[in-house]
Chain A
Amino acid sequence: MAVTELADDIHEEQHAHGEFIAHHFDSAQQQYDSGKLGIWLFLVTEILFFSGLFCAYTLYRVHHPEIFVQASTFLDKNLGGINTIVLLFSSLTMAMAVRAAQLVERRTVIVNLVITMVCAAVFLGVKAVEYSHKWDEGIFVRAYFNLREHEVPGISRWLVLISIPFAILLAASVIVAFAMRAKGNKNMYVFYLSLAIMFGGYFLGAVGGKIYMNWKTANDKSKAAAVATLEHSAGGTENHAAADTHEPAKAPVETATAQSVPAAAAGEVLHGPAHLSQDLGTFFSIYYCMTGLHAFHVICGMIALSWLLYRSILGHWRADYYGPVDYVGLYWHLVDLIWIFLFPLLYLIN
């Protein structure tokens, strides 16, 4: 056999490699398949990562069912529900972005990605309202759990604290966006403007959530008071000893047994003996671990989405190269999916 024939050397393999095909892959298809398998495996690790928390959750729920039922009344189903819808919607737009990338429709990709990012930010905004409201009430993890009346009717300091980084980021992206426009860099102008819109989304969520929360607290007060008087006159039930002391005009919190409960609607203020309120802390430990970790994943998703947006604006996608959009899309669906599990497990226990 001739040597020359044998030495069909490596250069032969330097065949039509696309712009974005890494040198070690033989074809775009191989690269795409590798990425796809890789991201699926990564999602598996993510699920397992959360599964540890789900195990802990299950264990404590089996041991203390009553605490879980009670604690979930502290969570606002409406806010949780809104967030669920927001995330579901963002999954839809994400899917549309993937589809558009496949068809190389640059504009549609960009629009859908921006909507997805805004949804993510709205989610965080609402979450920030929920967290800050709880912190105002002294609902922390177990060791610092210290339930008290929600005294801050207006803007909460916690909320401001959480919002500061977002405000800075918002301001920064607006400034950079206009700087880019001044420089005539249209692509980057669009990019930073989109970022600004995204951070704006956070404030949309936060302000909206806060308004709702204030409305609700006010509403609850009058409602709870009404319920209290009503039941008082009807002879009351065993768990409304505390209600006896209520003055109709004041907040329904006088003793340790009756706290200001967001879900106090319908008069379900079932706060047991004081030690129980300590045990509630265990629920909230788990709550913060799970939702905190989930929120972290949302933030990572926002970063990944921004990166996608950047590349979309630069028009990187091809009919045989749109893998990254697909992969991030899968990731985003998982983040969504985890929330779909968290929501009933935490908010809808009855």
Chain B
Amino acid sequence: MTTATTRRELFGYTPDKNYYTASKGIASWLLTLDHKRIGIMYLIGVSAALFLAGIFALVLRTSLWKPENALLGEKMYNQMFTLHGAIMVFAFIIPSIPAALGNFVLPMMLGAKDVAFPRLNLCSFYLWMGGTLFLLIAMLTTGLDTGWTFYTPYSIRTQTGVTYATFGVFILGFSSIFTGLNFLVTVNTMRPAGMGWFQMPLFIWALYATAIIQILATPVLAITLLLLMAERILHVAIFDPALGGDPVLFQHFFWFYSHPAVYIMILPAMGIISELISVHSRKEIFGYKFIAFSSIAIAFLGFLVWGHHMFTSGQSVVMNMVFSAITFTVAIPSAVKVFNWLATMYKGSVALTTPMTYALAFILLFGIGGLTGLFLSTISVDRHLHDTYFIVAHFHFVMVGGTLTALLGGLFHWWPKITGRMYNENLGRLASFLVFAGFNLTFLPQFVMGSRGMMRRYASYDPEFQVFHQWSTVGAFVLGAGVTLAYAVLIYTVRYGRPVSGNPFGAASLEWQSSSPPSMHNFDHKVVVNDPYDFATQVYDEELDSYVQRRFVEPSPKPATQPQHS
């Protein structure tokens, strides 16, 4: 049996050797090839984007307090929601979980030292910076007023910075492709011996499915935007009806990417939730294979439904029907996931830690968001709801209630690993509650006003909708306060949190076998591949206030069994 001191040495907090003390100076960060540092830089970047676009959201919500739009005026309002949407989608949410958390966690979950292509990884980050920079240039020069969808022909006509912005998004697209490519290769070639496809944590399955979408869908966006730029600069007449082009073709191209893109946003979030629920219930995940394959199914089906954004665009009746039918099929794998999460908690040992509160909030909010998707996939109902606030509410429920919630949950869950310190549980839970309450207050009223006929992208509106807007605005500020508090708790923890050892939550996936924070090469000793959901392998060690592998504590370790799921 190992002594406590050696255990501490092995699993303890080792501030002098970890990845962020290993080398100093700004250059050691900006030129790093280490996936953990790149992940952290990404995290800082996407959080900045979240706050910037979040402030835009608050400004536009404030402007909607009164029907006649006294605060902003039409032009300014249009710029506000466009920049809010574009920055949120392209600069924040698409890279958020994969590139920030995924970057940090994925190689460690595989017991690897880095991703397959570290240079490509850094390149991806700089592309993200470059793309975001172009969005900012567009914002600071003439602005951008097309909506995040860049629909032609308005995007060809408008005098605002569409060319800059589309170029920015074009670059961001390549950043996303590179991240996906890197992850896909890493998972394929760098799994440790003994970890088959079905011994991978579900977060990796989710990132894998995401990577497939990133690789297959994003190039189409890239060429679309390239053509849009060509349209604006050279007037090549592919999308411009005035020259014989077809504006609806643009919509097809755009949604061919952007519908799969919504699954780029939600799949990693679902992966996080699979981890959180099982770890914090100390319960083997229920229906592992079904969850794993549902990710792939969603990724695949997601490519066939883009036309549901165009039910009113005048596309043919047959196309509308086909797209509607396929859209419904996507609901099934999503439902499978939700049910399996619930079943995981059954007979578990559920602790309401901060990450778990986010996970539970996710199930509720994504549930509502996804279920309202069913209204929208029903053609005759969508022809009423299209482009109303019902849509706005739907997608905020899935994107904010889903992805942002999961991101926060994941951050709290892995924060002890990333920083080596424990956050304040009570404040964490308070923030989580504020986010949940504020969120519902913001977006539930939008369903009602939407089906009553409140149009989206309206700077001013008819007075009958004012009550709903005011609730929504109040909610937005509560939500903003919640998000701010959550971030404040995390940032405070970095300096002042209580130091923790390797594995405070008793998780069994490999990243927890490193010290907290991990050293530059992730693991100081050879990782022992074990079932990521067999929590019996982890036992609590009071001295360390952490879980350690049972075989280090017990005199005669159980033979490492091949984990097997069915």
Contacts and interface: CB of A to CB of B under 8 A. Distances in A.
Q: Do chains A and B touch in the complex (CB under 8 A)?
A: yes
A214 interface: no
A33 B113 CA distance: 17
A238 interface: no
Interface stretch (A43-51, A99-107, A339-347): A43-51
Contact of B526 (A12, A42, A44): A12
Given A34-B189, A59-B249, A286-B238, A49 B243 contact: no
Interface in A266-291: 279, 281-282, 285-286, 288-289
B171 to A, nearest CB: 14
B384 interface: no
B184 A41 contact: yes
Describe B's contact surface by its main secondary structure: helix
B224 A141 contact: no
Interface in A18-40: 22-25, 30, 33-34, 37-38
Nearest to A53: B223
Given A56-B249, A142-B236, A289-B230, A37 B223 contact: no
B441 interface: no
Interface string B524-564: 11100000000000000000000000011000010000000
Most buried by B among A24, A53, A60: A24
A59 B219 contact: no
Contacts of B218: 45
A212 interface: no
B523 A10 contact: yes
Nearest to B186: A34
Interface in B245-264: 245-246, 249, 253
Nearest to B556: A1
Contact of B189 (A3, A8, A30, A144): A30
A157 B122 CA distance: 43
Contacts of A41: 181, 184-185, 215
A16 interface: no
Nearest to B225: A52
A270 to B, nearest CB: 20
Interface in B100-121: 112-118, 120
Nearest to A49: B219
B485 interface: no
Contacts of A286: 236, 238
Contacts of B224: 52
A288 B236 contact: yes
B238 A6 contact: no
Interface in B187-235: 188-190, 215-216, 218-220, 222-224, 226-227, 230, 234-235
Contacts of B526: 8-10, 12-13
Contacts of B2: 1, 3, 6
A36 to B, nearest CB: 9
Interface string A177-206: 000000000000000000000000000000
Describe A's contact surface by its main secondary structure: helix
B368 interface: no
B117 A38 contact: yes
Given A10-B525, A141-B234, A141-B237, A37 B551 contact: no
Contacts of A6: 2, 10, 525, 552
B166 to A, nearest CB: 14
A8 B528 CA distance: 12
B361 interface: no
B234 A143 contact: yes
B457 interface: no
Nearest to A54: B223
A6 B551 CA distance: 11
Interface residues of A, number: 45
Nearest to B218: A45
B316 interface: no
A289 B249 contact: no
A234 interface: no
B189 A52 contact: no
Contact of B525 (A1, A7, A288): A7
Contacts of A52: 219-220, 223-224, 227, 253
B223 A8 contact: no
Nearest to B115: A24
A24 B227 contact: no
Contacts of A56: 227, 238, 249
Interface string B146-190: 000000000000000000000000000000010001101110111
A3 B245 CA distance: 72
Nearest to A292: B230
B236 A24 contact: no
Contacts of A42: 181
A141 B10 contact: no
Nearest to A2: B2
A49 B117 contact: no
Most buried by B among A13, A52, A55: A52
Contact of A142 (B114, B215, B244, B523): B244
B237 A48 contact: no
B521 interface: yes
B237 A282 contact: yes
A41 B177 CA distance: 10
Given A34-B189, A142-B235, A289 B525 contact: no
A25 B190 CA distance: 8
Nearest to A26: B190
Interface string B1-30: 011001000100000000000000000000
A128 to B, nearest CB: 19
Contacts of B245: 282
Given A38-B117, A44-B215, A52-B224, A9 B189 contact: no
15 contacts: A10-B523, A10-B524, A23-B113, A41-B181, A45-B218, A49-B219, A49-B223, A50-B223, A59-B249, A141-B236, A143-B243, A282-B244, A289-B227, A289-B230, A293-B226
Given A3-B3, A7-B525, A9-B524, 16 more contacts: A9-B526, A10-B526, A23-B521, A33-B189, A34-B188, A38-B117, A38-B182, A38-B185, A45-B215, A48-B216, A49-B223, A51-B223, A143-B243, A282-B237, A285-B237, A289-B238
Closest 3 CB pairs of A and B: A143-B235, A142-B237, A52-B223
